[in-house]
């Protein structure tokens, strides 16, 4: 026999759990974050309209190469205030230079499990 | 546990499909209604089965139809096949790599899709999907590889998607030959190149993804307007409803979401013909720029092999093992794969798999029985019918194309 309390408590718990779970789902963006830094917000505004940050964070480039990339992207529509250009180049070079360890990319979820390796 | 697990995976699948919908090419949002619906269905199982903190530290990236692939970029989508999946001759679509330069097409009604054939032709054409389906179907098993596959191994590092080994796969593509369609339109004498344009959505002021192939390759009976991949309509990630299929060539020659074919009297122009997708005529010094006039447009793939098993870093017991992998040569056939289990000092031939087709990779295998505990570097080296052999070091180039050094993995044999 279910009591009144016995019926209501699980649904309250369920609601709390649902909100927590959903909140983490929303925070759990499949797009990579950019690292902290003074130019972070400028970089987000300039770059992330057209692509996610993972395309940036996987690069390992010299300052000269970052300069070339940023200028190419400005030509391709990235909106960068000329007075922010040097700060962005410094931010990218400091975080994603040739001496940084290789970026470890995540994997997509294997939804179909063992069946995903079907034989032909 | 079993029940909780299966409920959990259903719930995870459900919410992710709501949140992360790629195929429309939209920035999808979680609607309040769907959010509550999925969240309440998921509530019990999640709180019981999966601690929130663990989940937060372990991002779940759900991409319907693409299982266990390495996410080089989510938006726009670039996915790589882990090399240990390369044990099948035909790569299942759910493991086939994805390379996008920009956003996929917005959702469209396929009944409104059309393909135009214009330019240096006698009779410009506009074809619908039913029109294409009336043309005899030809099938080609093709190993498709992104020109930038292996870019991450270039030294010094070069910009671009940092592909590891797996921007390559082998699939059966079917559809009318491009030649049949060009002949319907009637080529003028001045026809020298065939340009493709897809329905990709171009962000910002990015130049559109337009490339061309020479008329000789366009008229090859194996160059297709592919409507099917592995026997099913070509999936959205791979260019539904039709893509160019330029067999044996870099993936960029096989334009997805094809909608315009333009016959030209010279190569197409634009970023993706130059400076994009060009290779030095002669190898330069690593790290040094190369003048545009000293480069040529990429065409066919080169000779290459990869080791699918054992995995790099694997710990093995002494005893019988099978070293296996794949090898391909673009328009050339693989004639030999050699294996070294001592870091390239001595070599022995691998056995080539029975499945073969003109542009398809060959599976290969090599039985190995290490007798005692030792660290071993296993190396694979392919040779093709054009006499090309994989080099110890690939040719460095500023965009990191056609990386094809001998593949190697290190394994630890421990009794």
Residue A109 falls inside a structural domain: no
Contact B63 A54 (CB under 8 A): no
Could you list the residue range(s) of the whole structural domain that residue A57 is in? 40-95
pLDDT tens-digit map of B287-312: 999 999 999 999 999 999 999 999 99
| Percent of chain B scoring above 90 in pLDDT | 84
Residue A50 falls inside a structural domain: yes
Residue B42: which of A21, A98, A120 has the nearest Cβ?
A: A21
Q: What residues in A contact B66, CB-CB < 8 Å? A: 108
* Averaged pLDDT of chain B: 88
Beta strands in B75-162 (DSSP E): 78-80, 98-99, 115-119, 125-127, 138-145
Please give, rounded to a whole number of angstroms, the shortest distance from the CA of A55 to a CA of chain B: 6
Mean pLDDT of B395-412: 98
Which range among A65-69, B104-108, B311-315 shows the weakest confidence by mean pLDDT? B104-108
Half-sphere exposure of A6 (CA within 13 A, CB side): 3
Cα separation of B209 and B70, whole Å? 24
**In chain B, which among 75-104 make CB contacts under 8 A with chain A?**
75-76, 79-80, 82, 85, 87-90, 92, 94-95
Assess contact for B22 and B63: CB atoms under 8 A.
yes
pLDDT tens-digit map of B247-258: 999 999 999 999
Which is nearest to A59 in space by CA: A103, A89, A90, A91? A103
**In chain A, which among 77-116 make CB contacts under 8 A with chain B?**
77-78, 98, 102-103, 105-112, 116
Residue A45 falls inside a structural domain: yes
Residue A22 falls inside a structural domain: no
Task: List the single residue in A with minimal CA-CA distance to B93.
Answer: A116
Residue A69 falls inside a structural domain: yes
Contact B205 A69 (CB under 8 A): no
Cα separation of A86 and B352, whole Å? 54
Mean pLDDT of B162-178: 98
Return the pLDDT at A20: 56
Residue A6 falls inside a structural domain: no
Return the pLDDT at A11: 56
Residue A80 falls inside a structural domain: yes
CATH number of the domain bearing residue A74? 1.10.760.10
- Total structural domains within chain A: 1
Residue A63 falls inside a structural domain: yes
ipTM of the complex: 0.84
């Amino acid at each position: 026999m279910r009591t009144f309390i016995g019926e209501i408590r699980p649904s309250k718990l369920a609601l709390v759990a649902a909100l927590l779970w959903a909140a983490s789902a929303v925070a759990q963006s499949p797009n990579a974050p950019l690292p902290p830094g003074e130019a972070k917000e400028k970089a987000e505004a300039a770059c992330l309209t057209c692509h996610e940050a993972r395309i940036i964070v996987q690069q390992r480039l010299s300052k000269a190469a970052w300069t070339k990339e940023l200028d190419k992207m400005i030509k391709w529509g990235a909106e960068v205030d000329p007075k922010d250009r040097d700060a962005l180049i410094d931010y990218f070079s400091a975080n994603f230079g040739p001496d940084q360890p290789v970026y470890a990319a995540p994997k997509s979820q294997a939804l179909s499990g063992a069946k995903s390796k079907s034989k032909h | 546990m079993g029940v909780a697990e299966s409920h959990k995976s259903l719930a995870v699948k459900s919410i992710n499909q709501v949140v992360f919908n790629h195929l429309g090419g939209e920035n999808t949002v979680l609607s309040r209604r769907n959010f509550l619906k999925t969240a309440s269905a998921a509530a019990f199982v999640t709180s019981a089965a999966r601690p929130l903190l663990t989940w937060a530290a372990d991002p779940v990236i759900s991409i319907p139809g693409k299982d266990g692939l390495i996410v080089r970029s989510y938006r726009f989508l670039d996915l790589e096949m882990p090399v240990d999946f390369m044990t099948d001759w035909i790569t299942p679509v759910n493991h086939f790599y994805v390379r996008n330069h920009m956003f996929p097409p917005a959702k469209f009604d396929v009944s409104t899709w059309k393909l135009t054939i214009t330019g240096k032709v006698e009779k410009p054409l506009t074809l619908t999907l039913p029109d294409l389906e009336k043309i005899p179907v030809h099938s080609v098993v093709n190993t498709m590889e992104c020109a930038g596959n292996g870019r991450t191994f270039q030294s010094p590092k070069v910009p671009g998607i940092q592909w590891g080994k797996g921007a390559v796969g082998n699939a059966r593509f079917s559809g009318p030959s491009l030649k049949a369609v060009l002949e319907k339109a009637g080529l003028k004498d001045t026809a020298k190149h065939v340009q493709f344009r897809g329905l990709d959505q171009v962000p910002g002021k990015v130049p559109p993804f337009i490339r061309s192939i020479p008329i000789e390759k366009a008229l090859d009976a194996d160059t297709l307007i592919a409507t099917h991949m592995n026997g099913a309509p070509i999936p959205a990630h791979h260019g539904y409803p039709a893509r160019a299929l330029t067999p044996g060539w870099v993936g960029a020659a096989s334009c997805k979401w094809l909608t315009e074919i333009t016959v030209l009297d010279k190569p197409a122009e634009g970023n993706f013909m130059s400076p994009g997708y060009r290779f030095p005529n002669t190898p330069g010094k690593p790290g040094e720029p190369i003048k545009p006039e000293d480069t040529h447009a990429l065409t066919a793939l080169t000779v290459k092999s990869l080791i699918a098993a054992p995995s790099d870093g694997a710990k093995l017991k002494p005893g019988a093992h099978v070293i296996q992998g794949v090898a391909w040569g673009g328009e050339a056939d693989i004639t030999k794969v050699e294996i070294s289990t001592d870091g390239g000092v001595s070599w022995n031939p691998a056995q080539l798999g029975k499945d073969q087709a003109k542009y398809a990779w060959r599976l290969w295998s090599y039985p190995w029985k290490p007798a005692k505990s030792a660290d071993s570097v296993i190396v694979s080296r392919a040779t093709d019918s054009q006499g090309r052999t994989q080099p110890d070091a690939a040719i460095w180039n500023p965009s990191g194309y056609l990386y094809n050094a001998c593949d190697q993995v290190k394994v630890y044999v421990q009794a």
